[in-house]
Amino acid sequence: MPEATLSIVERDELYIGGDWTAPETSARHEIVDSTTEAVVGSYAVAGRADVDRAVAAANAALNDRDGWGGYGPAERAAVMRRFADAIERRRDALGELITREVGTPFGRARGANADTAAALLRFYADVIERSPVEDLRPAGVGHSLVRREPIGVVAMIAPWNYPLSTLFFKLAPALAAGCTAVVKPATMTALNSFLVAEAAAEAGVPAGVVNIVPTDRETGDHLVTHPGVQKVAFTGSTDVGRHIGGLAGQHLKAVTLELGGKSAALLLEDASIEKFVEHLHELSFANNGQTCTNNTRLIVPAAIYDDVVAAVTETVRSWPVGHPMDRETVVGPVVSRAHKASIERYYEIAKTEGTRATIGGGSAEGTGFFVQPTVFVDVSPEMTMFREELFGPAVSITKYSGDVEEGLAIANDSRYGLSGAVFSENESLALDSARRLETGTVGFNMANFDIGAPFGGRKDSGVGFELGAEAITAYLHYKTIFTPVVPAGF
């Protein structure tokens, strides 16, 4: 097992306007290691006045024609690539800190957070260098000069499960577009955001372009409704997303909401069970079950149901559960004692509703916020386990006759629509089924995630999309200038 290298982390200042500054309040929040329950560290909590200062700094940078506000695509791209380099220099420290905060196994904590953040910065740096600021279009009379301008100051509210990558889903395209940001990291995982601030400073990101203000929910609402903020980008639960979307709507702010999921993997009768279980962890149990895209509803035809149940159960049984810094660990702890208790309450509800667990389903004892990896079978669509997102290491298996129409109807019978999968050896039938799933992303005989393709939810899983070159448009205003002549340079 790799040795832990981080001592207790104490952060007393906030990163605002390119400087480390004292907060207006004396409030602090303590972080507990999800594996050992020892204190990882604590940080200063921002107040309303700190948010005001951060928004003012972001607006100053946005309007600085001699600085960030005057940078063209190539200059912004150069800053972003230096930022990526600085993130990479901290990849081990970021990975270990996120492992301690969240319980994510170290390899995933580092790869899916630090490495993804750096990749996103480089990806959008490349995209913006290829994108014109203006283009000229013929009009009925004269011409239309279409101009792309940054939408403004963006409030970015990140979740705790992938605290770094989900932040850069927002921050990288926003920086590429020329926006500035005020970041509110998740309360339970805010310590890693201070390393992001250090990387920004080292990379020479201009003062005020990135401001980081860990704060409570009430002050977070102040950020969302602040008149100096033009857009809100949020990842988190559907309930909180409704609240933030409502606040943004009252103030007519642009909003992107990436919310919860209860995704379905649909197996057709000719599905390869061997291929399915090969992808089971990434598909349904990633990050100890703490992944919004996990396919936690398995929809299985009667002809192969018993074989799938046996294969899934034995696969889950084979996974080592343990310390997330151990390279052999597949399943680590969850983020907090409260979250562990919430998952185990769902386990009890499942049993009272008549389902059974072929493995797990009980309460894990001992030190650390461990939860038993669980497979629930004979789950019907009216059960809570089928309906609600428990965000832990568990799947439900539901039987259907084998008729594809019935399988699709069961898979689509959800208020969520974030992810999904279809397993079949019939490519044509599988892709047709994938096109008919009411969800934002679908895997065909695989689990995958691609920063180069759009990602977003349907129904209660969100509003708008992230990732792909297309995501830059979420951070742009378009301006049309009518002109009777062709402007110089075109």
User: Which residues are known catalytic residues?
Assistant: 258
* Helix residue ranges, H only, 373-473: 384-387, 404-411, 427-436
Q: How far is CA 404 from CA 96, 145, 266, 414, 482, in A?
A: 44, 50, 9, 17, 53
Q: How far is CA 216 from CA 11, 157, 221, 222, 312, in A?
A: 16, 11, 9, 10, 40
Interior CA angle at 157 toward 255 and 73, to 5°?
A: 70
Whole-number Å distance between alpha carbons of 58 and 62:
6
Rg (CA), the chain: 23
Structure tokens at 147: 């101009």
Give the neighbor-by-neighbor strand order of the sheet with 476-483.
134-138, 143-150, 476-483
Whole-number Å distance between alpha carbons of 94 and 197:
12
Phi, psi angles (nearest 5°) of residue 108: -70, -40
Q: Which residue in 318, 310, 306 sits closest to 281, CA to CA?
A: 318
Whether 103 contacts 62, CB under 8 Å: no
DSSP assignment string, 118-186: HHHHHHHHHHHHHS-SEEEEE-SSSEEEEEEEE--EEEEE--SSSTTHHHHHHHHHHHHHT-EEEEE--
Interior CA angle at 174 toward 420 and 238, to 5°?
A: 40
Q: Which residue in 473, 470, 454, 453 sits closest to 462, CA to CA?
A: 454
- Look-up of token digits 């810094």: 325
Measured from the Cβ of residue 265, the count of other Cβ atoms closer than 10 Å reads 28
Whole-number Å distance between alpha carbons of 472 and 176:
7
The three-class DSSP label of residue 90 is: coil
Whole-number Å distance between alpha carbons of 449 and 265:
15
* Length of the chain in terms of residues written: 490
